[in-house]
Structure 1
Amino acid sequence: MDIFLASTSRQQFIHRLRSKRVKNGKVILFTGYDYFLQKLDLRNLLEKFQEVVLVPRFIDETYLIQEAISPLFHKYGDIHLVANPEYEERYRIIYEFAARNNKSIKIITVYDFCEKHLRKVYVPDSVHERNPRLGKLKPKGVFQQVSKSFIDVSLASVLLAVTSPLWLLSRIRIAQQSPGPTFYKQKRIGLNYQEFDCVKFRSMRLDAEAFGAQFSSKRDKRVFGYGAFMRATRIDELPQLLNIFRGDVSLVGPRPERRVFVESFEEMIPHYASRHVVKPGITGYAQVMYPYGTGVKDARHKLMYDLYYIRNWSLGLELRIVWKTVVTVLSFGGF
């Protein structure tokens, strides 16, 4: 359900999103494009602000003032500006205009805004830009390692016992619909770039990658009937419990990818390598916060959540992700 209306001004692509419900005289302005905002973010912002304005990086100064800034200052009394310091010219122009006209404006960097309000880490759109806050990421220390190990082993043991009938059922149905191996092993990249065999129930035909490595998609034609059911209910992920006992993965963490995709993403997405400072997970913050997707754009959005998880890990966040995973599975939401 949309709660905003979108309009585009001329050909400059200044987007104005207006709330249908909020009438509080508050507006938030972004001096960048919406490349780090997803629909969920905009929906949440429009629960707090009457209008959200997205200004592109490269735009004529006169047009910026006349079409975006001046009308906002006349219309609203509470203006918030999210600025990217890498593009100082954009917010300097706005700040100086506010000072000349005796208008107040609240400024926050895109780095702080993403972490405090969107609960994700800002990842630049270009490999030529970096987030100075990231530096070298590290796990939180001994408490995190001990806590995660306890949660991993405890929940994996319970899940293995509870789901044992599904293992038998899956073996029978796979044999009926697509004769061949019950399990599917695939090399994935884990902690510190170490490669491991990720084990799943096979959900695709045996010739699924006859033409090379491909991303899975939500309606993948290579998937047979029961395989689609396993994916929707996450039954195909159950054998990864064995990876937990082997120490390859945790229950929660960044989703492990294949080397060919990791190498490709690292060339196109800033800070992508940082996700390998912790063990990958069967589920993760990105999986429960971002819809199913493939390609560079989706990988970048998921990385924002993965890096937030690494930077802001807590026992509470870990347990919330586990709970959200349970809800997602029971609602057949998939990841």
Structure 2
Amino acid sequence: MRNTYVSDRRYVHRLLSKTAVSEEVLIVTSYDYFLQKYDLALLLKRYKEIILIPHSDDDDYLLNHTVRPLLDKFEKIHLVTNPQYDKRNRVIYELVVRKNKSIRITTVYDFCERSLKKVYIPDNVSEINPNLLNIPSFGRRVRYPKKIIDITISIILFLFTFPLWILSYFRIKLQSPGPVFFYQERVGMDNKSFHCIKFRSMGLDAELNGASFSKKNDSRTFSYGSFMRQSRIDELPQLINIFKRDISLIGPRPERQVFTETFDEIIPYYNMRHNIKPGITGYAQVMYSYGAGVYDARHKLMYDLYYIKNWNLFLELKIILLTAVVIFGKKGR
């Protein structure tokens, strides 16, 4: 990314790519919402400039002082539209046609899925994404290969990591009195509860003040507990949950009911993630940086619903590979 420019009116965020390509994309929506740094880095490899136009009360000034000058520079315009802003979309289209420029129009719903490999989740609860009107549960065509992958990899992982189970048992006992395993009620497929099993990484008084999201460098963890969380060793007992058919290897992260009830009220389509079994790892976990709260839950949902809607064997294997990169390379977005 070579340059970042914000107009005097602070309406437009402008990004310039390093490579000279022929097309410019206009994002007609709030620029700080569905586009993350990873998305922008990806798009800047394909477009020479990106103009991100947030909602404003002065569209005439905005469009005439930002869109019109671009038409003298570029022959091809890619307009990504949000149907909520029909008036703005029409003005941009008319400006382009008047200049005899080429224009390609894509809705933000299709753009997210095709270009960013995630599903657009509206920021406004009253807005409807037509691409999400019906997402079914996995049928036999998906369940059977997933079951084979789950059982095969889980057995291999259990045998390969069994020495870590023994080591973790004694380290936890030495560093923190109490049970080795931690059982926590989570929400699974069809909103049915199950007990998620993990190695205990925190003290017994970790939630004296009530339920809260865990975070990086959590002060509630003991020494080996912190190491387990960084290396994902604490997740190993969830293999037992796979054998019990509570969860799958790949799927949305299982959350606690106290959080899912809140998310379901304020995040559109959130309940759709419960159409399938949750997973030890998942598309959202390898594509989105660690975070907690409503904002992060909304963005993770974009990846979870893409996974459900567009499942294929290649995507399943890709997530497994990316999970290995995250664990062994200690990487991740």
Bin for the TM-score computed over the shorter chain = over 0.9
Residue equivalent to 2:223: 225
Alignment partner, residue 22 of structure 1 = 19
Instruction: State the 1:57 CA deviation.
Output: 2.2
Unaligned runs of 5+ in 2: none
Counterpart among 305, 309, 319 of residue 311 in structure 1: 309
Q: Identify the range of structure 1 (40-49 vs 63-72) with the bigger mean alpha-carbon deviation.
A: 63-72
Pairing partner for 2:164 from 163, 166, 178: 166
Structure 1 length-normalised TM: 0.96
Give the distance between the partners of 2:75 and 2:283, measured in 1 at CA.
36
Of 232-241 and 80-89, deviating more is 80-89
CA positional deviation for 1:140:
4.1
Q: Which consecutive unaligned segments of at least 5 residues does structure 1 have?
A: none
What residue is the counterpart of 1:265 in the other structure?
Answer: 263
Alignment length (residue pairs): 332
1:102 lines up with 2:100 in the alignment: yes
Query: What is residue 150 of structure 2 aligned with on the other side?
Result: 152
Determine the structure 2 residue equivalent to 1:244: 242
Instruction: Specify the SS of the correspondent of 1:74.
Output: coil
- Deviation at 1:25? 3.9
Q: How far apart in 1 are the matches of 2:268 and 2:4? A: 30
* Contact 2:11–2:56 (Cα < 8 Å) also in 1: no
**Counterpart of 2:130?**
132
* Pairwise CA distance, 1:267: 1.4
CA distance in 2, matches of 1:140, 1:153: 17
CA contact (8 A) 1:253 1:280 kept: yes
TM-score (norm 2): 0.97
Task: Please give the root-mean-square deviation of Cα atoms over the aligned residues, in Å.
Answer: 1.3
Distance 1:44 1:129 in 2: 27
Judging changes above 3 Å, is the alpha-carbon distance between structure 1 residues 60 and 120 closer, same or farther for their aligned structure 2 residues?
A: same
Determine if contact 2:138/2:276 at 8 Å carries over to the other structure: no
Task: Name the residue aligned to 2:325.
Answer: 327
Q: Could you say which residue in structure 2 is the equivalent of 1:213?
A: 211
Cα deviation for residue 328 of structure 1 reads: 1.0
Find the aligned partners of 2:173 and 2:22 in 1 and give their Cα distance: 62
Q: What does the per-residue CA deviation read over 1:234-273, in whole Å, with 9 as the maximum and x for residues that have no partner?
A: 1000000000010100000000000011011111111000
2:28 equivalent in structure 1: 31
Q: CA deviation at 1:332?
A: 2.2
User: Residue 47 of structure 1 corresponds to which residue in structure 2?
Assistant: 45
Paired letter, 1:266: D
The amino acid that maps onto 1:88 is D
**CA-to-aligned-CA distance 1:196-246 (integer Å, 9 cap, x gap):** 000000011111000000001111111111111111111000000000010
Check the 8 A contact 1:4/1:46 in 2, yes or no: no
Picking from 57, 70, 81, the partner of 1:72 is 70
Measured against aligned partners, the alpha-carbon deviations of 1:65-106 in whole angstroms (never above 9, x if no partner) come to 222110111111121111012321221110112222322211
Select which of 110, 113, 125 maps to 1:112. 110
Deviation larger for 276-285 or 129-138:
129-138
The aligned counterpart of 2:56 is 58
CA contact (8 A) 2:251 2:281 kept: yes
* Aligned residues with identical type, % of pairs: 53
The one-letter code matched in structure 2 to 1:313 is: W
Query: What is the CA–CA distance in structure 2 between the aligned matches of 1:265 and 1:160, rounded to whole Å?
Result: 33
State how far apart, in whole Å, the 1-side matches of 2:74 and 2:99 are.
Answer: 14
Please state how far the C-alpha of 1:334 moved relative to its aligned partner.
6.6
Residues in 1 aligned to 2:292 and 2:184: alpha-carbon distance in whole angstroms: 18
Aligned mates of 1:66, 1:129 — CA distance in 2: 27
